[in-house]
Amino acid sequence: MNLSFKIASRYFFSRKKSGGFNAITLISYISLLGYAVGAAALLIVLSVFNGFEGLFTKMYSNFDADLQLTPASGKTFFINQLPIEKIKALPDVKGFAFVWEESAILRYNNKQTLATIKAVDDNYLALNTLDSNMLKGSLILKSGDTSFAVVGQGIGYQLGIDPDDQFHYLGIYLPRKGKVDMLNPESALAHGVIFPVGVFGIQDEVDNKYILLPLDYVTKLLEDPGRMSGMELRLHDAAKMDEVKEQLQNLTGNGFIIKNRFEQRESFFKVMQSEKTISYFILLFILIIAAFNTIGSLYMLVIEKRNDLQLFSSMGMTSLNAAKVFVYQSLLIAVMGGLIGILLGIIVIWLQQKFGLVALQSNGNIQINAYPVLLKLNDAFMVLATLVFLGFLTSFYPAYKAARAVKGR
């Protein structure tokens, strides 16, 4: 065993001859406890963010495709601009649907609001699992020749939509292509009515914005068949999103932009990641406070062991090896505190997953009763690495003093 490490271990576990701990060892253990509490808190908070990220990813995945293809210029394109057969031949593609998104004015029972219509073809509902997100009514867009609408919860609330009300229809006003007749501005809008049969709830960003309609209903209303604003693809394995994205980009060239599930909600996931990073640095202050205790206890230890250091020096110990004693001592406190904290954090996370100790008030969208948590191995390593770094950092001053004590014997 390394001599400096062996001496550091003896100092760390040293007791008074009477059997109790000396004051310096007690302060070291308090520092260790601070590290443990900070590490546990940090791991738990990071796991909560992971849990919410996983929850929202799952919720969005019911509405968003694994891959979304849109034109690089302009808002729409024609189907024949895509190599459909080659896309179908990709082994990882489960299926795809064509969509048309457009801003619209909605009117219902003397109420009015702005929304984005998402017109989808017959494949869309088969490829997406929106059934679990239905709050009212049914998930039906077509029945024979009759078209229906399904609206987001926020839009439904603004307009007071009741899927069971068979006396009121939803009015839809869409902008036509071409110049506006200033003498008759209403001619710039295509107008249709449709019966809303359901209300879905995913997340506020979606619920306050979208209404689902059949694609053929919208193209007939706009008298513009064959034109789309996007293609949405589902994969057999979502983990291969980036691989398939590259294949699609090679097939479609520079005329189309392809986004994976996370890029479609880039701003949302960036905010989530920013909040996670901010929380990390806030909780880091707890660990820094514990680190100051470590500096104090190590400096006191240098003073107490000055005679030992001079004895070691007379036996041939170099100033570098003397400094290493206190580097190892600091790392022992940090690593042991970190390991204890990570273990405590894992236990708390497991208990939360198993029993839901901390409740979460559920709303119409989030159908859970407790805070979601998800432990990631890289978070545990990051917490431990942070503590090792702090342990190494806090050893500099005591190690310097120890080296000076040996040189000045």
Residue 290's pLDDT is 79
Whether 74 contacts 218, CB under 8 Å: no
**CA-to-CA distance for 311 and 226, rounded, in angstroms?**
90
**CA-to-CA distance for 202 and 130, rounded, in angstroms?**
9
Q: How confident is the model at residue 295 (pLDDT cuts 50, 70, 90)?
A: confident
Tell which wins on pLDDT, 169 or 297: 169
pLDDT tens, residue by residue, 101-121: 999 999 999 999 999 999 999
**CA-to-CA distance for 290 and 38, rounded, in angstroms?**
8
φ, ψ dihedrals at 327, nearest 5°: -65, -45
Q: How confident is the model at residue 186 (pLDDT cuts 50, 70, 90)?
A: low
pLDDT tens, residue by residue, 306-339: 887 777 777 778 888 888 888 998 999 999 999 9
**Chain center to CA of 46:** 10
- Centre a 10 Å sphere on the Cβ of residue 271 and count the other Cβ atoms it contains: 11
Residue 339's pLDDT is 97
**CA-to-CA distance for 254 and 264, rounded, in angstroms?**
18
Total residues belonging to the chain = 409
**CA-to-CA distance for 130 and 201, rounded, in angstroms?**
9
| Tokens (6 digits) for 6 | 């062996």
| Tokens (6 digits) for 301 | 């230890």
Residue 112's pLDDT is 96
**CA-to-CA distance for 148 and 42, rounded, in angstroms?**
49
Q: Where are the domains of the chain?
A: 3-60+268-407, 65-264
Question: What is the residue-wise DSSP string for 316-353?
Answer: T--HHHHHHHHHHHHHHHHHHHHHHHHHHHHHHHHHHH
Give how far Cα 311 sits from Cα of 90, 315, 329, 406, Å: 75, 6, 19, 9
Residue 303's pLDDT is 82
Residue 16's pLDDT is 54
Whether 314 contacts 409, CB under 8 Å: yes
End-to-end alpha carbon distance in the chain: 26
Whether 252 contacts 69, CB under 8 Å: yes
Whether 406 contacts 317, CB under 8 Å: yes
**CA-to-CA distance for 320 and 315, rounded, in angstroms?**
14
Give how far Cα 343 sits from Cα of 37, 41, 65, 239, 280, Å: 11, 11, 38, 30, 18
Helix or strand or coil: residue 162?
coil
Whether 394 contacts 322, CB under 8 Å: no
